């Protein structure tokens, strides 16, 4: 989190006192803390409050307003105001849970939608890219990632050899299913159906979500690439997609020309969407944490895991980082 990264500072002692005010409000006394110390204290106290609670944060050190706003934004809270009274500052923040945020944004119908947190689209999402992996390396690499806890694997092969692609997709589907994971096929719902895969991932030039549904079983997972376009994600949700993907969030060695997606887009998408969000583009176990904290459910990776000396260990570490949001 940006508000925690202060060069040359130790992590401060965390302490705060929480007092109940009228119904729906609490006071959190973090006096004695400096910034960002009081943000750490407030963060811990807020985690234990009910959704919808308005918190009055009391500090005796001039608040770093930008840091407070960034913290509230990352947590999905609403920053209300900062008021000085004597030698203290009162910061008001309202805590919203995911259902309230989405209900405000999308209307009451969203409340009836399935909770995205129950989806299998979670954690490390390996892209088995045939431009990166040779035929000989394909299954061993995927197996290593599965042993590290990858719950989804996407088979991506842009070649025109359908018979070869079908054989590889069938083998990967069987391998994934033995490990309790799902296989997604890139671009081609017909291939996904023939290979007994679990779903398909669609780009802007592929068949529509409705078209893919006609080809695949109703229970198949349909993912949609949304690049850096929130409107495309909202349209995918309305069309019945099961997850959306944004990126690139970091420079991508696989697709260096890919449009960059800002962290603010991810935060806003988390508030507006009741779908799992996959992030992609230059992601590694070393840089995934801010994306998880901003609301990502899964991180799609190629070189970030396949380029590691120990694929299993890298996958396991990425899974652990993504759990920051769970």
Instruction: Supply the residues annotated as catalytic.
Output: 156, 225, 255
Give the C-alpha separation, 7 to 5, whole Å: 6
Say whether 305 sits in a helix, a strand or coil: helix
Peptide bond into 22 cis (omega under 30): no
Beta-strand relationship, 54-59 and 88-94: antiparallel
d(C-alpha 17, C-alpha 207), whole Å: 55
H or E, element range at 266:
helix 263-272
Strand boundaries in 95-210, DSSP class E? 123-129, 152-156, 182-186, 199-202
Handedness of CA 218, 248, 275, 293 (dihedral sign): positive
DSSP state for residue 117 in the 8-state scheme: G
Other beta carbons within 10 angstroms of residue 190's beta carbon come to 16
DSSP for 78-109, please give it. EEEEEEEETTEEEEEEE---HHHHHHHHH-GG
Q: Rounded distance, CA 306 to CA 178, Å?
A: 21
Taking the CA of residue 314 as centre, how many other CA atoms within 13 Å lie in the half-sphere pointing to its CB?
24
**How many helices (DSSP H) and strands (DSSP E) are in the chain?**
12, 13
């Amino acid at each position: 989190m940006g508000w925690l990264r202060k060069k040359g500072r130790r992590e401060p002692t965390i302490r705060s006192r929480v007092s109940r005010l009228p119904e729906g409000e609490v006071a959190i006394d973090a006096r004695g803390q400096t910034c960002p110390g009081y943000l750490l204290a407030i963060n811990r106290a807020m985690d234990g409050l009910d959704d919808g609670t308005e918190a009055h944060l009391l500090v005796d050190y001039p608040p770093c307003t930008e840091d407070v706003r960034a913290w509230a934004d990352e947590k999905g809270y609403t920053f209300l105001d900062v008021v000085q009274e004597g030698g203290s500052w009162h910061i008001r923040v309202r805590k919203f849970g995911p259902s309230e945020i989405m209900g405000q944004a999308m209307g009451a119908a969203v409340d009836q939608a399935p909770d995205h947190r129950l989806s299998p689209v979670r954690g490390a999402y390996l892209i088995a890219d045939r431009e990166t992996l040779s035929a000989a390396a394909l299954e061993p690499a995927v197996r290593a990632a599965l042993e590290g806890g990858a719950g989804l694997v996407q088979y991506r092969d842009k070649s025109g050899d359908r018979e070869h692609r079908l054989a590889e997709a069938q083998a990967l589907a069987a391998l994934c299913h033995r490990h309790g994971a799902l296989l997604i096929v890139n671009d081609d719902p017909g291939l996904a159906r023939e290979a007994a895969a679990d779903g398909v991932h669609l780009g802007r030039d592929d068949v529509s979500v409705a078209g893919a549904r006609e080809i695949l079983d109703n229970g198949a997972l349909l993912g949609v690439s949304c690049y850096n376009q929130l409107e495309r994600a909202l349209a995918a949700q309305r069309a019945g997609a099961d997850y959306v993907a944004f990126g690139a969030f970091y420079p991508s060695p696989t697709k260096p020309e890919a449009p960059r997606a800002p962290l603010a887009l991810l935060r806003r998408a988390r508030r507006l969407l009741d779908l799992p969000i996959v992030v992609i583009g230059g992601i590694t176990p070393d840089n995934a944490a801010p994306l998880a904290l901003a609301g990502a459910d899964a991180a799609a990776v190629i070189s970030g895991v396949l380029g590691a000396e120990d694929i299993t260990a890298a996958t396991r570490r990425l899974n652990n980082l993504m759990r920051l949001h769970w």
